[in-house]
């Protein structure tokens, strides 16, 4: 375990097993309908890479970069789109692929933005969900794990841009924040 981590919440194997289960749900949902997966960077990149390789439905991938935390542990409340996609999503079945739902502020903003572009459907898949912290009423259609209100790192999630590469989900030591 990384020395800045005090506990592992989910191991690499546990996450991989859950990703397979989520992929089965998503395959079943879309069947032979093409789906556009939109990864929300940066945090969503590892989950997208794992999830899409378990999908058998017809899928394409796109990326948006959105940030609302900066180097802090609390949402600034201001969502910034750092990179938008070139693809026109009108009439497409879209699945947002996110690493974590926390306050829900980022996802609320993204969903409102993308709804305005008139996709045929817009669903959300998150690997981690912290429901106790929710400020905006966002519900994930596909959710990997509910987690307690602790600051987590790894599997794409950072603190001040570090730790995204840890293959597990861990709790950061308070002295490292
Ligand atoms: C994190 C995370 C989610 C969002 C969730 O992104 O990746 O997108 O915060 O938090 P919320 O539900 O409270 O809005 P962040 O802004 O840290 O950018 P990053 O993905 O580049 O780390």
Instruction: Give the per-residue pLDDT at 3.
Output: 95
Instruction: Give the per-residue pLDDT at 165.
Output: 97
**Global confidence as pTM:** 0.94
| pLDDT at residue 133 tops 80 | yes
Cβ pair 159, 153 in contact under 8 A: yes
Q: Out of 50, 93, 102, 129, pick the active-site residue.
A: 102
Give residue-wise pLDDT tens across range 135-146: 999 999 999 999
Strand partners, 83: 65
Give residue-wise pLDDT tens across range 60-103: 999 999 888 777 777 788 888 999 998 999 999 999 999 999 99
Q: Select from 48, 63, 64, 66 the residue to mutate for testing ligand 1; criterion: most ligand atoms less than 8 Å from CB.
A: 66
Q: Is the CB of 109 within 6 Å of ligand 1?
A: no
Instruction: Give the per-residue pLDDT at 69.
Output: 77
Question: For residue 18, how far is its CA from the centre of ligand 1 (angstroms)?
Answer: 21
Q: Select from 63, 96, 100, 134 the residue to mutate for testing ligand 1; criterion: most ligand atoms less than 8 Å from CB.
A: 100
Instruction: Give the per-residue pLDDT at 21.
Output: 98
For the chain, the average pLDDT equals 95
Give residue-wise pLDDT tens across range 45-59: 999 999 999 999 999
Instruction: Give the per-residue pLDDT at 156.
Output: 97
The verdict on whether 84 is a catalytic residue reads no
Q: Is the CB of 75 within 6 Å of ligand 1?
A: yes
Instruction: Give the per-residue pLDDT at 89.
Output: 98
Instruction: Give the per-residue pLDDT at 73.
Output: 78
Position in ligand 1 atom list of the atom nearest CA 161: 22
């Amino acid at each position: 375990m990384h020395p800045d981590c005090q506990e592992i919440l989910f191991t690499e194997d546990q996450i991989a097993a859950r990703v397979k289960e989520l992929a089965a749900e998503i395959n079943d949902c879309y069947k032979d309908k093409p789906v556009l997966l939109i990864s929300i960077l940066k945090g969503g990149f590892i989950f997208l890479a794992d999830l899409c390789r378990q999908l058998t439905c017809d899928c394409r991938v796109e990326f948006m970069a959105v940030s609302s935390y900066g180097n802090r542990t609390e949402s600034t409340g201001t969502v910034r789109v750092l990179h938008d996609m070139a693809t026109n999503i009108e009439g497409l079945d879209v699945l947002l692929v996110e690493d974590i739902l926390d306050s829900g502020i980022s996802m609320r903003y993204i969903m409102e933005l993308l709804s305005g572009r008139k996709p045929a459907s817009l669903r959300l898949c998150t690997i981690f969900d912290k429901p106790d912290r929710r400020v905006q009423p966002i519900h994930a259609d596909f959710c990997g794990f509910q987690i307690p209100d602790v600051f987590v790192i790894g599997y794409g999630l950072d603190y001040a841009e570090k730790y995204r590469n840890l293959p597990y989900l861990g709790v950061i030591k308070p002295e490292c924040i």
